[in-house]
């Protein structure tokens, strides 16, 4: 079995872990916004600052990657993993911004459920990413992947049901457009977590 990481290079896994921890902070902030729909401007700005920090973490990792001669796993995989993690933050930020921009008066039950799923997905990533540094944990990693896969499927069901109800019950076309866009950004956040898993599966297979 290949040695995944040289001792002097453990900073990459630490940086990836810091990234997913930041995503979890964003997910918790989003869920707080959805559950306690008040002080919207302040909460949306807070989420944006968390997303901005995520951008900086991703940039720092990529700069470190460019300056490193020998990487623990393929540098393309590290880059893809960092970018896929940050994509979750992008969608969380986008959903929060749209709720403020569109002046959504109250989030729907489906939006709140999506927020809960986003937080659960992020929590799984926080538990999974540190295990990448040890190839003997590959089965543990797959347990987390299966859980995220289950959450993603649940997210699909919530999204599809919410859209069906929106088109069936809402008569205001503008409101339909607004709510549909928010629902889709929240769904993309869940899907992007599933995308992180695809990158991790590739890493596990290549380094088994």
Supply φ then ψ for residue 149, to 5 degrees. -60, -40
| DSSP-H helix ranges across the chain | 11-35, 40-66, 75-101, 109-128, 138-169, 173-206
What's the Cα-to-Cα distance from 189 to each of 7, 36, 66, 167, 200, rounded to whole Å? 33, 20, 28, 22, 17
70 C-beta neighbours (distance < 10 Å), count: 8
What is the model's pLDDT at position 135?
A: 60
Domain ranges of the chain: 7-206
| Contact indicator for 155, 191 with CB cutoff of 8 Å | yes
Is the pLDDT score of 132 beyond 80? yes
pLDDT at 205: 83
| Residue pLDDT, tens place only, 37-81 | 999 999 999 999 999 999 999 999 989 888 877 777 788 889 999
pLDDT at position 1: 42
pLDDT tens-digit readout, 95-118: 999 999 999 999 999 999 999 999
Sign of the alpha-carbon dihedral angle for 171, 169, 93, 156: negative
CATH class (in words) of the domain with range 7-206: mainly alpha
CA distance 143 to 89: 23
What is d(CA 86, CA 159) in angstroms, rounded to the nearest whole number? 22
Lowest mean pLDDT among 72-76, 85-89, 122-126, 141-145: 72-76
**pLDDT higher than 50, residue 90:** yes
What's the predicted TM-score (pTM) here?
0.92
More confident residue, 181 or 73: 181
Residue 5 has pLDDT above 80, yes or no: no
Say yes or no to pLDDT of 9 above 80.
no
Determine the pLDDT at residue 129.
Answer: 93
Whether the pLDDT of residue 208 is over 80: the answer is: no
- Assess whether pLDDT exceeds 80 at residue 94: yes
166 confidence band (pLDDT: 50, 70, 90): very high
Mean pLDDT of 30-36: 98
For residue 65, what pLDDT is reported?
84
Residue 198 has pLDDT above 50, yes or no: yes
Cα–Cα distance measured from residue 197 to residue 208, given in angstroms and rounded to the nearest whole number? 16
């Amino acid at each position: 079995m290949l040695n995944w990481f040289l001792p002097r290079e453990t900073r990459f896994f630490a940086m990836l872990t810091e990234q997913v921890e930041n995503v979890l902070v964003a997910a918790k902030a989003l869920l707080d916004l959805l559950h306690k729909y008040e002080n919207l401007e302040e909460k949306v700005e807070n989420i944006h600052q968390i997303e901005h920090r995520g951008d900086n973490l991703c940039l720092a990792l990529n700069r470190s990657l460019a300056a490193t001669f020998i990487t623990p796993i393929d540098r393309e995989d590290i880059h893809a993993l960092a970018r896929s993690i940050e994509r979750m933050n992008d969608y969380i930020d986008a959903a929060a911004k749209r709720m403020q921009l569109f002046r959504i008066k109250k989030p729907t039950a489906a939006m709140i459920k999506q927020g809960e799923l986003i937080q659960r997905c992020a929590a799984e990533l926080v538990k999974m990413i540190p295990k990448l540094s040890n190839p003997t944990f590959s089965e543990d990693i797959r347990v987390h992947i299966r859980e995220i896969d289950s959450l993603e499927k649940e997210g699909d069901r919530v999204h599809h049901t919410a859209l069906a109800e929106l088109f069936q019950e809402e008569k205001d076309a503008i409101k339909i457009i607004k709510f549909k866009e928010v629902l889709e950004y929240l769904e993309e956040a869940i899907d992007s977590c599933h995308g992180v898993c695809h990158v991790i599966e590739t890493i596990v297979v290549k380094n088994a």
